[in-house]
């Protein structure tokens, strides 16, 4: 059984994962309209992944005797003026999600909820990868600078982005 404190924190994380899906969806839509096919494909895929993270939390809460809350999502507040700005915001967002996961893990330790603590280790590892990928992509974006040929190649490569980070999943 989940304590009230852990349940509330898990439900807050469920909302964050749903909001994350919306952030990526807004980025994908903007990129698609701008003609960045690869970037939009990457962002749509990330949006789907965030939704799956949310569903995994919902199922966990419900299986542990809690009641998962599915709250309304908020329209993302993003600067959609340039693809470089998009990827800076992506990194900032992933850092924010990591902080939220870390706070949640801390609550599970305070509450001595070792089952939830163990469950959340997947999210901890996932966030390490998400932040590393965001930094990797932002480094590539910064290397491109204003080179249109480089942007074309980058956008094309983003269609089939494969994380350069070793995965232990």
- The answer to whether position 64 is within a domain reads yes
Of the candidates 87, 71, 68, the one whose C-alpha atom is nearest the C-alpha of residue 79 is 87
Confidence band (pLDDT; 50, 70, 90) for 84?
very high
pLDDT of residue 164: 78
Q: Considering the chain, what percentage of its residues have pLDDT values greater than 90?
A: 91
CATH at residue 138: 1.20.1260.10
pLDDT of residue 168: 57
Q: What is the pLDDT of residue 166?
A: 65
- With respect to residue 53, please indicate whether it lies within any of the assigned structural domains: yes
Q: Does 163 reside within a domain?
A: no
Tell me if 169 is assigned to some domain.
no
Judging by beta carbons within 10 Å of its beta carbon (0-12, 13-18, 19+), is residue 138 exposed, middle or buried? middle
Whether 169 shows a pLDDT value over 80: the answer reads no
Closest listed residue to residue 22, CA positions, set 73, 84, 63, 58: 73
Domain presence at residue 166: no
Higher-pLDDT residue of 163, 11: 11
Q: How far apart are CA 109 and CA 107, in angstroms?
A: 5
Distance of CA 138 to the CA centre of its chain: 15
3-state SS assignment for residue 44: helix
- State residue 40's pLDDT score: 97
What pLDDT, on a 0 to 100 scale, did the predictor assign at position 42? Answer: 97
| Annotated binding-site residue numbers for Fe cation | 17, 50, 53, 94, 127
Residue 167 lies in a domain: no
pTM score = 0.92
pLDDT at 106: 98
Contact 75, 30 (CB under 8 A): no
Q: Region 71-89: what's the mean pLDDT?
A: 93
* Residue 109 falls inside a structural domain: yes
Q: What is the pLDDT of residue 167?
A: 60
pLDDT in tens, 27-75: 999 999 999 999 999 999 999 999 999 999 999 999 999 999 999 988 9
The answer to the question of residue 165 being in a domain is: no
Residue 14's domain comprises 4-71+80-158
Q: Report the distance separating Cα 24 and Cα 4, nearest Å.
A: 30
Give the DSSP letter of residue 65.
Answer: T
Average pLDDT over residues 97-117: 97
CA angle 81, 82, 83 (to 5 degrees): 140
Residue numbers belonging to the annotated binding site = 17, 50, 53, 94, 127
Q: Indicate the number of domains in the chain.
A: 1
Q: In this predicted model, what pLDDT tens digit does every residue of 110-142 receive, in sequence order?
A: 999 999 999 999 999 999 999 999 999 999 999
Cα separation of 64 and 169, whole Å?
Answer: 23
């Amino acid at each position: 059984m989940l304590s009230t404190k852990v349940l509330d924190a898990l439900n807050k994380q469920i909302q964050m994962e749903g909001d994350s899906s919306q952030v990526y969806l807004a980025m994908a839509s903007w990129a698609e309209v701008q003609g960045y096919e690869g970037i939009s494909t990457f962002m749509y895929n990330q949006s789907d992944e965030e939704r799956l993270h949310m569903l995994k939390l919902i199922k966990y809460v419900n299986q542990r005797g809690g009641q998962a809350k599915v709250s309304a999502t908020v329209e993302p507040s993003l600067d959609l003026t340039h693809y470089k700005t998009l990827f800076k915001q992506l990194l900032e967002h992933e850092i924010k999600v990591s902080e939220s996961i870390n706070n949640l893990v801390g609550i599970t330790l305070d509450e001595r909820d070792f089952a939830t603590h163990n469950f959340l280790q997947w999210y901890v590892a996932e966030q390490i990868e998400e932040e590393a990928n965001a930094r990797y992509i932002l480094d590539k974006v910064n290397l491109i600078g204003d080179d249109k040929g480089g942007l074309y190649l980058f956008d094309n490569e983003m269609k089939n982005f494969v994380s350069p980070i070793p995965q232990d999943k």
